[in-house]
Chain A
Amino acid sequence: MFCDEVLDAIEAIAAGDLTPDGRVSDHLTSCPDCAAALGDARELERMLRARPVPRTSSQFTSRTMARVRRARWRSEQFLDMGFNFAIGMVILAVVAGVWMLMHRSGLTAISNDAVDLFSTAFVTLARRIAPSVPLYAGATALLVTALGIWWWAERDATL
């Protein structure tokens, strides 16, 4: 029996996966190199079994759960964005469809008249309101200030 054949089986013998038969045992008794290799392999086996098992930090679970939540939130955001985009596209398609329908049926001429009517009404309304703009602006400022104070007071109360 040659050393190469025995050396190929050394790791299996050291791990206990292979029981050396008579020829291999005889060779191991008579060959100091192969016997030394088996000794080394057994020592390596012992060291590998004795390797310390690394432990996680105490915050591992909470950190992992936070990362999972972040990832889930991101994927939900992505889904929401996709959904909103799809809705936007549908609305655009509907508007375009309605416009095309109106254009083909000649309703756009009527709608042009309607637009003219609305714009004339808007200009007339603006002319009438213009003198009172400072009054409305003052009232709006007062309202915004009051709402701001209320929000600030509520915010302080919840802290």
Chain B
Amino acid sequence: MEAINERELVERCRRGDEGAFQELVDRYKDLVFALIARTVQDRSRAEDLAQEVFLRIHRGLPYFRGEARLSTWIYRIVANVCLQDQTRPAAGREIVSLDDDGARGRVTVSTPDRRFDDLELRDRLEKAIARLPAHYRLLVAAHYLKGVQYEDLADAMQLPLGTVKTQLYRAKQQLRRLLETDLK
């Protein structure tokens, strides 16, 4: 049912129906934005890139043949936009270091201040993710968004399923090493 609606929506967009395109933006904006915001970790930059994704969707819809699912095609555009953004000069881009806030001891997650520790740990996690290579960051961002399966990622990245899994495991291995003291 959803696939039929999706096809209808794409057809209406192709005919130049602005309302249909607005519906498409509303339907996918949270997914696209979350994916980009998790990858670039800068809200205003993420919003700008998310708009860029929808511009490319608008330009590309006449050439979308419907062989892949619309969401897969959108992931592919998101991946291209994020990876292209990483190749641009890093003017104004924040360089995050795990030691930005000085050397800290081990985080113990079983104390009464667990919520605070969790927040601190989450902050360390975000900083650790920022140190990953761009394509690893994108994989981690996408895989842990609700509903994004390995198969969707493989289609979107145009990589074999096994490669996607291996790269994801390597990304997590790097993260585990970066957070070694905090996770214990």
Contacts of A45 in B (CB 8 A): 172
Instruction: Tell me if A157 counts as interface (CB < 8 A to partner B).
Output: no
- Nearest opposing residue in chain B for A69, CB measure: B18
Cα distance, A41 to B22, chains bound together (Å): 41
* Count, chain A residues at interface, CB 8 A: 33
Pick from A10, A53, A57 the residue with the most CB of B within 10 Å. Answer: A53
Contacts of A65 in B (CB 8 A): 18, 21-22, 25
Task: Report 18 cross-chain contacts, Cβ distance below 8 Å, ordered by A residue.
Answer: A10-B173, A11-B172, A36-B184, A39-B184, A40-B183, A43-B109, A44-B176, A49-B144, A51-B122, A53-B30, A56-B47, A60-B25, A60-B33, A61-B26, A64-B50, A67-B54, A68-B54, A68-B55
Instruction: Tell me if A113 counts as interface (CB < 8 A to partner B).
Output: no
Contacts of A36 in B (CB 8 A): 184
Instruction: Tell me if B69 counts as interface (CB < 8 A to partner A).
Output: no
Q: Which A residues are within 8 Å of any B CB, using their own CB?
A: 10-12, 14-15, 17, 36-37, 39-41, 43-45, 47-51, 53-57, 60-61, 63-65, 67-68, 71-72
* Count, chain B residues at interface, CB 8 A: 39
Cα distance, A51 to B24, chains bound together (Å): 26
Q: Is the CB of A47 within 8 A of B46?
A: no
Cα distance, A145 to B147, chains bound together (Å): 69
**Contacts known (A44-B183, A51-B144); A37 close to B176, Cβ less than 8 A:** yes
Q: Once A and B bind, how many residue pairs between them come within 8 Å at the CB atom?
A: 96
Q: Is the CB of B173 within 8 A of A71?
A: no
**Contacts known (A43-B183, A65-B22, A68-B54); A51 close to B29, Cβ less than 8 A:** no
Question: Shortest distance in angstroms between B19's beta carbon and chain A's nearest beta carbon?
Answer: 10
Q: Is the CB of A54 within 8 A of B43?
A: yes
Contacts of B38 in A (CB 8 A): 51, 54
**Contacts known (A53-B30, A56-B33); A41 close to B176, Cβ less than 8 A:** yes
Q: Is the CB of B176 within 8 A of A60?
A: no
Contacts A15-B169, A36-B184, A65-B25 aside, 19 further interface pairs with beta carbons under 8 A come to: A11-B169, A39-B184, A41-B172, A44-B172, A47-B125, A49-B144, A50-B122, A51-B38, A53-B34, A53-B146, A54-B38, A55-B33, A56-B30, A64-B50, A64-B51, A65-B18, A65-B22, A67-B54, A68-B55
Which 6 pairs between the two chains have the least Cβ-Cβ distance? Answer: A54-B37, A11-B169, A40-B183, A56-B33, A11-B172, A48-B144
Instruction: Tell me if B180 counts as interface (CB < 8 A to partner A).
Output: yes
Contacts of B37 in A (CB 8 A): 54
